[in-house]
């Protein structure tokens, strides 16, 4: 058996580790709280945009007299031959199964659509590192962004990575999300892709999270998610999450937002005839791409919150494990020490008896 | 609420509710020109271009904000502005705006025959010019 000195060293080392995981847990909890607030503050805008768009789409017949096409290109549904998948992962590890879960959902989705050509847009360093191993990177000319609809590029494989956005979460702004959304919208309008899916970790509260595949283009119904598949959290995970949140002082309840939400959803929907300053078609042109950007931004904010929640939980169980380990080692150490003392006493006693 | 003839003004950005207050009148940069809203205005929906939103005689005095793109709903007693970004004119980063202007001019030069790219370039240039003008109006040295 190991001697007392070795055990004491081991205990000291585990204690140090516990201190680190505990600190990381508290940091994640603080970041989670901030991320939650941000996601919450971003809601009025998203709601208002969705409701005004919804009422605009419903009130106005948008058709082009010459082509007879009755819809905005972003509302048009085409048969799905080519789809773009945006995978939102985190930039950092140490967050339990957070990245794995998103990637698992993404893999499953990609394998389910065996007859569709798929392009991947990857957000987050972790996702990039892992997906790069299994999929080829598309060869895209430098100035391709400007030359939509010219020649279709030659594909190396059915699934290709077309864009990587690592380090986006270091300082997440709406502009960054809007930029990516702009690229997606352009591609959709140029008919290079027939659908855009978003794989991300949805975060409603600490207790309500799931990994979803959400179709953001074409826009089927404004203000509603178009969920292609979802993986709910397991009961066990949920309990762990709740325990970690409680021990680090993060409230489990989401703030009551119903009143504010209701207010926001009235935007642009009053029962009056609005004067449209610009032609409705022009309003739609401005609003629809922004709606896509808002959805993307929102998904990213939620993903950030979920990542912090996952890290907090992972660090909480790491801290608990470290405590258990220290207890076990302390017990062994005491036993070993006692054994040594007993052995010495026996030696003395038997030595005395031999006299 | 304040006295009868004031309107409730809210300016909402993707990040937060930027302001929520009252004013006697609001002037707004619609994408087809500035217009002013007083109490009792007819219901209106308009797209905002780059320019300044000004609140006159509000509960916190006159206020100005620069918005790059936005959308506004006007109801008789209420004005709600959705703006992609909003800053006070004295917080505008002039160096950034100049860079944007250059980028716009570069786009304009490269646009070639495509009208869509011209429109995009013009939009970028217009936004940058408005931004610089707004900063200068606030007394920022250029």
CATH code at position B49: 2.60.15.10
> Are residues B77 and B27 part of one domain?
yes
Average pLDDT over residues A153-173: 79
Phi/psi-derived region of residue A106, left when phi > 0, alpha when psi is between -120 and 50, beta in every other case: alpha
Range of the domain at B20: 7-87
pLDDT for the residue B1 = 46
User: Buried (b) or exposed (e) across A103-126, using 16+ Cβ within 10 A?
Assistant: bebbeebbeebeebbbbbbbbbbb
> Are residues B79 and B14 part of one domain?
yes
According to DSSP, the β-strands at A275-276 and B44-48 are parallel
> Are residues B94 and B50 part of one domain?
no
Beta bridge partners of A195: A83
Please tell me which residue, B12 or A274, carries the higher pLDDT value.
Answer: B12
> Are residues B59 and B107 part of one domain?
no
Q: CB neighbours of A343 closer than 8 A, spacing ≥ 6?
A: none
User: A68-72, A329-333, B63-67: which range is least confident on average?
Assistant: A68-72
> Are residues B66 and B128 part of one domain?
no
- B76: exposed, middle or buried (C-beta count within 10 Å: 0-12, 13-18, 19+)? middle
> Are residues B21 and B69 part of one domain?
yes
Q: Is pLDDT above 50 for A149?
A: no
pLDDT for the residue A254 = 61
| Residue B10 token pair | 């809210």
> Are residues B94 and B83 part of one domain?
no
> Are residues B79 and B121 part of one domain?
no
Average pLDDT over residues A246-265: 68
Cross-chain Cβ contact B75/A270 below 8 Å = yes
All residues of chain A having their beta carbon less than 8 Å from the beta carbon of residue B67 are none
How is chain A split into domains, by residue range?
10-269+277-320
Query: CA nearest B82 in A: which residue?
Result: A45
Cα distance between residue A104 and residue A127, in whole Å = 11
Ranges of residues in chain B with a pLDDT under 70 are 1-4, 58, 60, 138-142
Kindly state whether residue B14 falls inside one of the protein's structural domains. yes
How close, in Å, is residue A71 to chain B by CA atoms?
20
User: A223-237, A249-263, A323-337: which range is least confident on average?
Assistant: A249-263
Please tell me which residue, B87 or A258, carries the higher pLDDT value.
Answer: B87
All residues of chain A having their beta carbon less than 8 Å from the beta carbon of residue B73 are 52, 267-268, 274
pLDDT for the residue A27 = 92
Q: CB neighbours of A7 closer than 8 A, spacing ≥ 6?
A: A329, A332, A333, A336
pLDDT tens, A10-30? Answer: 999 999 999 999 999 999 999
> Are residues B37 and B22 part of one domain?
yes
> Are residues B56 and B116 part of one domain?
no
pLDDT for the residue B48 = 87
Total domain count for chain B?
2
Kindly state whether residue B2 falls inside one of the protein's structural domains. no
pLDDT for the residue B4 = 63
Q: How confident is the model at residue A344 (pLDDT cuts 50, 70, 90)?
A: very high
pLDDT tens, A178-188? Answer: 888 888 888 88
User: Who among B17, B32, B44 is closest to A44 (CB)?
Assistant: B17
Mean pLDDT, rounded, of chain A: 82
**Please, are residues A148 and A190 in contact by the beta-carbon 8 Å criterion?**
yes
pLDDT tens, B33-69? Answer: 888 888 888 888 888 888 888 888 767 677 888 888 8
Does an H or E element contain B43, and which? none
> Are residues B119 and B61 part of one domain?
no
Q: Is A106 on the interface with B (CB under 8 A)?
A: no
Cross-chain Cβ contact A52/B45 below 8 Å = yes
Average pLDDT over residues A221-237: 73
CATH of domain A10-269+277-320: 3.40.1380.10
**Please, are residues A140 and A164 in contact by the beta-carbon 8 Å criterion?**
no
Please tell me which residue, A139 or A335, carries the higher pLDDT value.
Answer: A335
| Residue A147 token pair | 């030359």
pLDDT for the residue A346 = 95
Q: Give the three-class secondary structure for A249.
A: coil
pLDDT for the residue A230 = 73
Average pLDDT over residues A112-131: 86
Q: Report percent pLDDT > 90 for chain A.
A: 21
pLDDT for the residue A13 = 95
> Are residues B94 and B81 part of one domain?
no
């Amino acid at each position: 058996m190991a001697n007392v000195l070795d055990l004491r060293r081991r205990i000291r080392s585990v204690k140090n580790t516990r201190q680190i995981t505990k600190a990381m847990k508290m940091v994640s909890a603080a970041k989670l709280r901030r991320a939650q607030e941000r996601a919450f503050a971003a809601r009025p805008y998203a709601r208002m945009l969705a409701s005004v768009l919804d009422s605009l789409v419903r009130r106005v017949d948008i058709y082009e007299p010459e082509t007879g096409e009755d819809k905005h290109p972003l509302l048009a549904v085409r048969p799905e031959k080519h789809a773009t998948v945006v995978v939102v992962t985190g930039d950092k590890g140490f967050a339990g199964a957070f990245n794995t879960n998103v990637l698992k959902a993404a893999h499953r989705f990609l394998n389910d659509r065996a007859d569709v050509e798929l392009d991947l847009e990857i957000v987050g360093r972790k996702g990039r590192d892992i997906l790069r191993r299994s999929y080829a990177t598309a060869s895209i000319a430098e100035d391709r962004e400007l030359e939509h609809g010219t020649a279709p590029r030659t594909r190396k494989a059915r699934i290709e990575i077309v864009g990587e956005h690592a380090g986006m979460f270091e300082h997440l702004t709406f502009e960054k999300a809007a930029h990516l959304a702009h690229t997606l919208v352009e591609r959709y309008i140029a008919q290079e892709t027939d659908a855009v899916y978003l794989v991300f970790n949805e975060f409603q509260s600490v207790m309500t999270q799931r990994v979803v595949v959400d179709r953001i283009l074409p826009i089927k119904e404004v203000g509603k998610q178009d969920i292609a598949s979802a993986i709910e959290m397991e009961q066990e995970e949920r309990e762990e999450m709740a325990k970690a949140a409680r021990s680090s002082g993060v409230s489990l309840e989401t703030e009551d937002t119903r009143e504010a939400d209701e207010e926001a959803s009235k935007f642009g929907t009053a029962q009056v005839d609005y004067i449209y300053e610009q032609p409705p078609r022009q309003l739609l042109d401005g609003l629809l791409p922004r709606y896509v950007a808002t959805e993307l931004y929102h998904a990213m904010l939620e993903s950030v919150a979920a990542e912090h929640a996952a890290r907090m939980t992972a660090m909480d169980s790491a801290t608990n494990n470290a405590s258990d380990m220290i207890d076990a080692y302390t017990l062994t150490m005491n036993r070993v020490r006692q054994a040594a003392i007993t052995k010495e006493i026996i030696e003395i006693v038997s030595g005395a008896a031999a006299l | 609420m304040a006295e009868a003839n004031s309107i409730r003004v809210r300016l909402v950005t993707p990040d937060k509710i930027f302001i929520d207050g009252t004013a006697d009148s609001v002037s707004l940069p619609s994408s087809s020109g500035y217009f002013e809203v007083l109490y009792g205005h007819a219901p209106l929906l308009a797209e905002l271009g780059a320019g300044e939103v000004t609140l006159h005689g509000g509960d916190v005095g006159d206020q100005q904000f620069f918005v790059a793109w936005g959308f506004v709903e006007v109801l008789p007693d209420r004005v709600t502005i959705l703006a992609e970004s909003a800053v006070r004119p004295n917080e505008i980063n002039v160096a950034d705006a100049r860079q944007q202007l250059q980028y716009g001019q570069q786009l304009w030069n490269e646009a070639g025959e495509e009208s869509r790219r011209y429109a995009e370039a013009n939009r970028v240039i217009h936004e940058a010019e408005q931004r610089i003008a707004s900063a200068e109006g606030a007394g920022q040295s250029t």
